[in-house]
Amino acid sequence: MFIGFSLSATDAKGKVYNGSNWVEALANPGWYFVIEERAGEPVFGADKYTGTKTRELKNWDELEWGDILTQNEYKFIDVMKSITVDQLESNVGPNVYDMAAFWGANAGDMALALLQRPSRVFLHGYDMLVNL
């Protein structure tokens, strides 16, 4: 995908504060570019395995492929495997819906456990165009 902006590289980068030009840096802070997955298009899966098997899951968003599969099991997900999320101290906040899903209970619970939140990355123009 190619996207065009009516900004020069100088405008996008802004002025970097170097210890003495704070007025100029504040007057021209540059631009941030946000790249994000489209919300509303669900993606299902788990996070990349970090190699930490002894941790306890606090919500389904922390689920990693290593929690579900061993290295030789990359053909299907075993819904009979016991995976639980510890009860949080409070059911208030963003994890309240995570607590309602039980591994292997039904298709809806599996979908909720494996639902991935959309990714979003903020990049400053200076970091993207440092060599221009």
- Per residue in 24-54, pLDDT (tens digit) is 888 999 999 998 888 888 888 888 888 766 6
Q: Do residues 44 and 60 make contact, with C-beta atoms less than 8 angstroms apart?
A: no
Mean per-residue pLDDT for 52-63? Answer: 75
Query: In residues, how long is the chain?
Result: 132
Please give the C-alpha separations between residue 109 and each of 46, 112, 115, in angstroms, as whole numbers.
14, 5, 10
- Per residue in 7-27, pLDDT (tens digit) is 899 999 998 888 888 888 889
Q: At residue 101, what are phi and psi to the nearest 5 degrees?
A: -95, 140
